Amino acid sequence: MASEAAKNYLGTRNKIHLDIETIPTQPEEEAKKVIADNIKPPANMSKAETIQEWHEGKGKYAGAKEALIEEVYRKTALDGAYGEVIAIGFAVDDGQVMSFSRANFVGEDVMLAAFFLELAKITKSDFFVGHHIRFDLEFLFKRCVILGINPGVNLNFQGRHNVHFFCTQEAWAGFKGFISQDNLCKVLGVEGKTDLDGSKVYDAYKAGEMDRIEAYVRDDVEKERYNYKRITFQVRPGDE
């Protein structure tokens, strides 16, 4: 639990409600080629002829290597060292939920720089609130380092919940515990995900549906902000 002094300090700071959407390494074709050149068959394969069949996609192994390459590739969206940010939703305290996306910027670096510049205009706080917010902060930190962008705020993903940031997942499930935001919404009687979720964001991106992705990330921020208020007893069931 945070100390009384920490609680008093946190109470005076703006809360930045944040959610990001990410995609795998770009460009896709080049990234998949690197994965294909280095990918290994399942560990339970030991016979040379079976391994060869797997690599060549023969018989019952037809498509198996390609499926694994796709799986490994998609997972790069979860690592800021390789994936990219395509949309950011945020709101300061009870302010308007805003979003930035790659639809309006020529590159990830320009989008991130614009986001942090806008954030600095609104608040000097670095107290972020989100669901599994460590992921968002770590991803943003790594992208900023790689792209040479000084965010101007402390993206302290290694900090403590309720001291350096507030994580609705940790508040509900405990340190290293897990509950999806969708399930937390259901528990708290909030309408869950739309027809879009994190696993479908890259396909939506490739289809050029950035407006849909921005609406999704803003909706996530709205839901997270309400869940935060419920968990901290600022609102009661049914309150808007």
Q: Same domain, yes or no, for 16 and 103? A: yes
Which tokens belong to 162? 């309720």
Q: Same domain, yes or no, for 207 and 141? A: yes
The tally of domains found in the chain comes to: 2
pLDDT surpassing 50 at residue 8: no
Q: How many angstroms separate the CA atoms of 149 and 127, rounded?
A: 19
Q: What is the pLDDT of residue 140?
A: 98
Q: Same domain, yes or no, for 131 and 203? A: yes
Q: Which CATH number goes with the domain that contains 107?
A: 3.30.420.10
Which tokens belong to 41? 């068959």
pLDDT surpassing 50 at residue 1: no
Which tokens belong to 77? 């969206």
Q: How many angstroms separate the CA atoms of 103 and 157, rounded?
A: 27
Residue in the block written with tokens 């998949």: 32
**Half-sphere exposure (CA, 13 Å, Cβ side) for 108?**
24
pLDDT range class, residue 4, cuts 50, 70, 90:
low
When pLDDT is averaged across residues 64-74 and rounded to a whole number, the result is 96
Phi first, then psi, for residue 180 (nearest 5°) are -70, 155
Report the alpha-carbon angle 68-82-140, nearest 5.
135
Q: What is the pLDDT of residue 197?
A: 85
Q: How many angstroms separate the CA atoms of 142 and 108, rounded?
A: 13
First to last CA, the chain: 28
Q: Answer whether residue 70 is part of any domain.
A: yes
**Per-residue pLDDT tens for 116-149?**
999 999 999 999 999 999 999 999 999 999 999 9
Q: What is the pLDDT of residue 228?
A: 97
Residue type, 153: V
When pLDDT is averaged across residues 184-204 and rounded to a whole number, the result is 88
Q: Which domain holds residue 118?
A: 4-24+89-231
Q: Same domain, yes or no, for 145 and 93? A: yes
Q: Specify the pTM.
A: 0.92
Q: Answer whether residue 143 is part of any domain.
A: yes
Q: Same domain, yes or no, for 203 and 226? A: yes
